[in-house]
Amino acid sequence: MYWTLELASQLEDAPWPATRDELIDYAVRSGLVIEVIENLQEMEDEGEQYESIEDVWPDYPRKDDFLFNEDEY
């Protein structure tokens, strides 16, 4: 299983919170690339709810990880 920024960003609009099976269903219905579906299928299914993409991929960059001043624009 590997995540990249491009793959993980496809899950930003997923219906959070969600279980692994709900995320797989969302990915299939939304037509996401097969790598995203395969990554979700490889995750251990303990029946837990994921609150956000950071729960799926802890290294997912958050908005404050970027040096961007919104007040300038």
* Mean pLDDT value of segment 8-24: 94
Position 72 confidence tier, pLDDT thresholds 50, 70, 90: low
Handedness of CA 28, 32, 33, 38 (dihedral sign): negative
Residue range 44-68, pLDDT digits in tens: 888 889 999 989 888 887 766 555 5
Residue 40 lies in a domain: yes
Alpha-carbon gap, residue 31 to 65, rounded angstroms = 29
Report yes or no on 66 lying in a domain.
no
| pLDDT above 90 (res 27) | yes
Q: 32 near 23, Cβ under 8 Å?
A: no
Range of the domain at 44: 16-58
What is the C-alpha radius of gyration for the chain, rounded to an integer number of angstroms?
Answer: 13
Average pLDDT, the chain: 86
- Give the three-state DSSP class for 50: strand
Examine residue 6 and state whether it is found in any structural domain, yes or no: no
- Tell me the three state secondary structure of residue 38: helix
pLDDT at 16 over 90: yes
